[in-house]
Amino acid sequence: MAEHFLTKTKVYREDCLGVGQALAIERHAELHALLTHNAGPDVAALFAEPFISRSGDDGHLTIAWYTNLSGRGARLTELSEDGAKRIEARLVALTRPLVHMLEDSESGPLLRAALSVGSRADIWVIDDRPILVNWGMTTGARPSEGPLAGLIPMLTGPMIEARRPAPVATPNAAASLPVPPVAPVTAPVGTVPRIAWVPLTVLLCLSILVLLWLLLPSTRIPFPYAPPVAPSATVDTSAAQEATLRALADRKQRLEAALAGAQCRADGVLELPGGRSIDGAMLPRVGSPDLATETPAEVAPVLPLSPSQLSVGEADTTETLLKRLEGGTVLVIARRGETVSTGTGFSIGNGLIISNAHVLGSFGESGEVFVIHKSFAQPLPARVIKVTAPFEQSGTDLALLEVADKTLTALTLMTNPETRKLTPVIAAGFPADVMETDSAFVALMQGDATAVPDLSVSDGIVTSEQQMPEGQTKLLFHTAPLSNGNSGGPLVDYCGSVVGVNTFVRRSELRSINIALSTADVVTFLEDTPAAGVMVQDQPCRPTIIAPRLPDAAPNPDAAVPEPAPDQPADVPKTDLAPQDTTEPTAPTDAPKSQGDE
C-alpha cells in the first residue's frame, strides 16, 4: 500500500478504459503484482496507486493518487526541456521490458490500458523517477489539453520497425524467368446423392411420431386438480376486535401508572420505579463501574457513551478519557533533507515513547526525528533507543524513542490474556487525510515550530484476534477508522489502557480492515530497554460514567422561612457560592444568593 500522497484529479467515468468487467484503474493491485513479477518493483512503481470516490450523479470520479516514493513531486510539463527529455528517455528505458507482454492474451489488455494516459501533465517526477497518474484513460479525451499519442506508440514504435523482415534479394537470372499463370481453383459443382437424404428423412419421421405420442391423452402425466373452494360465510370479527382493544387499554393504563412514578436521572436516562428502563431492563447505577444485578436473569443494556462522560481512573477522579489521550499522544516527524515522514506515538512514562518502525523508515540513523506535543514550546529532538527490522524480516514493527521532557501523560499497557473481541476501542493519532485541512498542521509543515495540530480520534470495536503464521506476533483487527499518519498511535479501551499499536490498513473493494499490534508484543519488545518497568494493567476494563452536575434548584421566595431556635444557628442553604464549612452562624436574611436568585 502506497503511503505518500501525490495529487488529486477529477475525471469523467467515460474517459476511463475498461478491462473485463472493471475499469483499468480499479485493477491496480493486479497490475502491480503482474509488473513486480515480470519486470521488477521499479517498473511497478511507475503507476501511482489510485483511491477512487464518486462525486454525485454528474459522472465524475475523484481520484487521490499515492506513491511509495517520498519527496516533492513535479509535473513533466514543469521541467526544463532538457529535464523533460531525460525523464522521457528514462521512462522508455524502464518500460521497454513491457513490449513483449503487450501481445499476451491475459496480461496484454490490462497493460495496454494502463499505458494510455491523458496528457503529458499526467507524468510526474520525484527524484528523477517518473510516476504516472491518470493512467488507464482515453488519449485525446479533452481537446483543451491537446492530443497525446500515448505511451504505447512511444514504446512499441522502434520495436515494430525492428521486427519487420528485411526484403530478400533474388538473383537477376531468377527474376527474368517467366512466371506461369496459376489457374483459379474452383470447387466442382454437382448434385447431392439421394442416399444423403436418408438420415434426415428418418430423423424427421421419428420426430413426428414422438410428437404424436406426446399428444395422446393417456401419455401425459396427470396432475392432481383441486377444485376451487367455495367462499364461506362472513365471520363476525367484532368479538376479536373488542378483545384487542381491551388488551391495548390495559397496557395503556399500566404504562401510565409506571410513568407516573418515573424520574429523569442526572445522566439523562428515564428511570421507572424499581430502577428499570422503559423496556423493563435494569439500569446501571450512575457513578458506579458495575451494573445493577438485582435480577440475575436480566442483563442491563449497554449505553452509548462519549469520551467526555468516561472516567479513566478511580470513581472520584476528574480526568476523562479524552484528556488522557490528548496528554499522552504525540506527533512523530522523521526528516532527512527535504524528505519528511509523519506518524503517531504515545508516552509510556519517563520521556519514553512507543511508535512504529516504518514511521522512522531509514531516517532514524541518518536523519532527524522530532516529537511534537501541545505541552512543548517547540518540537523536541528524539533519540532512537531501539527499532525492529522491517516487518517482513522481524514479524513486528515497533520503535522506542526518548525525549528530554518527562511530563507527558503515561498510558498504561493492558495485557489481559482474555479475548478482546467486542471490546469498545478508540484510536488516537494524526491521520494525513484529516491533517490536510488542519491549519496548524499546514503551518507546521511550512516551518512554524510553535504550531501543534489537533489530535484526531475514532471509535470502533475489536472484531478479531489472529496469530501470525510465522512468529509470535498477535494482530488485533478492529473497526476504528485509520489512515496514513495513524501508524504508531495507541488503540485504547474505555478505561484509557492501551490494547494495541495501530500499524496497518488492509484495503479491499468492499471495505478497509484496520490492524494493530498487540500490547503483549510491545512488552516483549521492551524487555531489554530502559522501559522494562513500564506500567502494565491486567484487570478488565470497567469505565465509570461521570454524571453531569445539575444546578441547584432556585428557592421559592413565597415559602416561609422557619425561625431558628434560640440556641441553634440559622440553617443556611449550601450553594456553589456558599462555603461548605461555616464557623459563625449567619442570619437567614444575610444568606448569599444562589445563581437562580439573579
DSSP 301-370: PPPP--GGGEESSSTT---BHHHHHHHHEEEEEEEETTEEEEEEEEEEETTEEEE-HHHHTTHHHHSEEE
Maximum mean pLDDT: which of 303-312, 473-482, 545-554 = 473-482
Summarize the confidence of residues 551-577 as an average pLDDT.
46
Round the CA-based radius of gyration of the chain to a whole number and report it.
39
AA letter at 500: G
| Residue of higher predicted confidence among 488 and 276 | 488
How far is 444 from 377, CA to CA, in rounded Å?
13
| Residue of higher predicted confidence among 64 and 272 | 64
Three-state secondary structure along 375-432?
Answer: CCCCCEECEEEEECCCHHHHCCCCEEEECCCCCCCCCCEECCCCCCCCCEEEEEECCH
| Residue of higher predicted confidence among 419 and 185 | 419
Summarize the confidence of residues 439-458 as an average pLDDT.
91
How far is 323 from 318, CA to CA, in rounded Å?
10
Residue 329 pLDDT > 90: yes
Burial (CB < 10 A; 0-12, 13-18, 19+), residue 99, is middle
Summarize the confidence of residues 362-385 as an average pLDDT.
86
The pLDDT assigned to 218 comes to 67
**Residue ranges matching CATH 2.40.10.120 in the chain:** 321-544
Residue 415 pLDDT > 80: yes
Residue 403 pLDDT > 50: yes
The pLDDT assigned to 577 comes to 33
Cα separation values, 295 from 119, 271, 390, Å:
72, 16, 53
The pLDDT assigned to 451 comes to 92
DSSP state of 230: P
The pLDDT assigned to 311 comes to 52
Within its chain, how far is the Cα of 261 from the centroid?
A: 46
How far is 256 from 165, CA to CA, in rounded Å?
97
The pLDDT assigned to 235 comes to 52
- In Å, the largest CA–CA distance within the chain is 151
Residue 315 pLDDT > 90: no
Burial (CB < 10 A; 0-12, 13-18, 19+), residue 318, is exposed
Q: What residue has cell string 520525484?
A: 126
Q: What residue has cell string 484526531?
A: 456
Structurally, at CATH architecture level, domain 321-544 sits in Beta Barrel (2.40)
Q: What residue has cell string 425561625?
A: 563
| Residue of higher predicted confidence among 109 and 306 | 109
The pLDDT assigned to 195 comes to 83
Q: Are 303 and 284 in contact (CB under 8 A)?
A: yes
pLDDT bucket at 408, cuts 50 / 70 / 90? very high
Q: What percent of the chain has pLDDT over 70?
A: 69
Residue 296 pLDDT > 70: no
Report helix, strand or coil for 239: helix
How far is 592 from 432, CA to CA, in rounded Å?
53
Q: Are 325 and 457 in contact (CB under 8 A)?
A: yes
How far is 333 from 341, CA to CA, in rounded Å?
6
Q: For residue range 231-247, what is the model confidence (pLDDT) as tens digits?
A: 554 556 788 888 899 99
Question: pTM score > 0.75 for this model?
Answer: no
Cα separation values, 298 from 105, 259, 295, 301, 522, Å:
64, 21, 6, 9, 39
Residue 53 pLDDT > 90: no
Residue 557 pLDDT > 90: no
φ, ψ for residue 399 (rounded to 5)? -145, 145
The pLDDT assigned to 207 comes to 93
Maximum mean pLDDT: which of 4-13, 134-143, 190-199 = 4-13
How far is 108 from 318, CA to CA, in rounded Å?
65
End-to-end Cα, the chain, rounded Å: 62
How far is 436 from 556, CA to CA, in rounded Å?
55
Report helix, strand or coil for 516: strand
Residue 324 pLDDT > 70: yes
| Residue of higher predicted confidence among 357 and 177 | 357
The pLDDT assigned to 13 comes to 82
The pLDDT assigned to 58 comes to 63
Encode 537-569: b = buried (16+ Cβ within 10 Å), e = exposed: beeebebbbbeeeeeeeeeeeeeeeeeeeeeee
- The average confidence (pLDDT) of the chain is 75
Residue 417 pLDDT > 70: yes
Choice among 33-37, 39-43, 52-56 with the minimum mean pLDDT: 52-56
| Residue of higher predicted confidence among 504 and 563 | 504
The pLDDT assigned to 336 comes to 81
The pLDDT assigned to 287 comes to 56
Triad 194, 199, 200: Cα angle to 5°: 85
Residue 112 pLDDT > 70: yes
Summarize the confidence of residues 389-405 as an average pLDDT.
89
φ, ψ for residue 360 (rounded to 5)? -75, -30
| Residue of higher predicted confidence among 188 and 491 | 491
Residue 537 pLDDT > 50: yes
Residue 597 pLDDT > 50: no
The pLDDT assigned to 151 comes to 55
Choice among 31-40, 253-262, 489-498, 559-568 with the minimum mean pLDDT: 559-568
Choice among 33-37, 153-157, 255-259, 278-282 with the minimum mean pLDDT: 153-157
Q: For residue range 173-183, what is the model confidence (pLDDT) as tens digits?
A: 333 434 444 44
How far is 500 from 464, CA to CA, in rounded Å?
13
DSSP string, 31-50: HHHHHHHHT-HHHHTTBPEE
Residue 570 pLDDT > 80: no
Residues 6+ apart with CB under 8 A from 120: 76, 77, 148
